[in-house]
Amino acid sequence: FVYDPTYSTDDDGNDKDDKEEKCFSRNTHACRLLTPETSAQEAYTQCFLGGGGGEAERVPMSHLHAGDIVMSSVDAHARVIVNQHRLDDGTVSHLVNLKHTRGLLELTPDHMLVIDGEFAPARDARVGSTLSNGETIEAITHDRTSIVNPITSTGTILAAGPAGEPVLAATGNEWLFDVMLSAYPQYTLSYTLARLLPLSVQAYYDQALEPLFTAAVPTLAKLKEAAPKPLVGLTLVASDVALASGLGIFSLGFKGAASLAAALAVTAVCRIARK
């Protein structure tokens, strides 16, 4: 472990600045399938082992957008629902850099990945810990840089540095990890619309939702932790309906109204959760 004086945590090891965005480094790469019929084994070989074929490509996560098909594990692929922070606005976050024997992964401290056989936040990683690919963490450092986060339909993705082999990580951080890996998202309006209208959904997120979510997530995370589970379920359903409605307004060309509708929806959700 290498100490970084710019990295500050509380007594539990959490990043003190809850307002910072939580995701992967923009240097992180994924495997994008160019033909959905490509087998997982062939895609892995082409993306991470230097094989040819032109059916899959290793790309920076910042190049992904809604509708892309990516490897979500060593034997499966998934659709990108939306790519958060796709447009680099210069904002930086604290990152944990995990150097393992076959590569490197950079992600924020509360981002979930497989450590010693179980999903855990990156801050729990230790030198000697084993990652999903069976490789051992050799060194851990900290840095500050810009981030990106492609959310997939399965809630997981194979993530790697510019070179080397990948590890299995979640496409969400600690506060929403359980929801994203559950069956619930598959039945939402938001995921259905992302499958049917990927370009519109990505534009809606980039232009209307990104600033709102960046500001609201710290509050929503605290409310989710404190609220009873039935109330959390109700707020998730209400949020889904509101986001889908906002997309309809956005698609009709009323971008300002869509942003306002989304903001009002988040405010309403926060009020419900506080009751």
Output the domain CATH number for residue 34: 2.170.16.10
Which residue do the tokens 């979640």 mark?
170
CB atoms within 10 A of CB 66: 25
Q: How far, in Å, are 42, 113, 179, 236, 249 from residue 185 at the CA level?
A: 28, 19, 7, 10, 22
Please indicate, yes or no, whether residues 59 and 106 belong to a single structural domain of this protein.
Answer: yes
Residue 263: burial class (beta carbons within 10 Å; 0-12, 13-18, 19+): middle
Residue 3 lies in a domain: no
pLDDT at 141: 97
Please indicate, yes or no, whether residues 49 and 146 belong to a single structural domain of this protein.
Answer: yes
pLDDT at 99: 97
Domain containing 110 equals 24-174
- pTM greater than the 0.85 cutoff: no
Residue 74 lies in a domain: yes
Please indicate, yes or no, whether residues 168 and 226 belong to a single structural domain of this protein.
Answer: no
pLDDT at 208: 86
Please indicate, yes or no, whether residues 37 and 157 belong to a single structural domain of this protein.
Answer: yes
Q: Return per-residue pLDDT of the chain as tens, 275 residues.
A: 333 333 444 444 444 444 556 689 999 999 999 998 999 999 999 999 988 889 999 999 999 999 999 999 999 999 999 999 998 888 889 999 999 999 999 999 999 999 999 999 999 999 999 999 999 999 999 999 999 999 999 999 999 999 999 999 999 778 888 889 999 999 999 999 999 999 999 999 998 888 777 776 677 777 777 778 787 788 788 888 888 888 888 887 766 655 555 555 555 555 544 55
Please indicate, yes or no, whether residues 143 and 39 belong to a single structural domain of this protein.
Answer: yes
Radius of gyration of the chain (CA): 18
Structurally, how many domains does the chain consist of?
Answer: 2
In this structure, what DSSP letter does residue 16 have? Answer: S
Q: Which of 144, 174, 204 is the last residue of a domain?
A: 174
Please indicate, yes or no, whether residues 166 and 242 belong to a single structural domain of this protein.
Answer: no
Helix (H) or strand (E) holding 41: helix 40-48
Residue 15 lies in a domain: no
Please indicate, yes or no, whether residues 141 and 38 belong to a single structural domain of this protein.
Answer: yes
Q: Which of 155, 174, 193 is the last residue of a domain?
A: 174
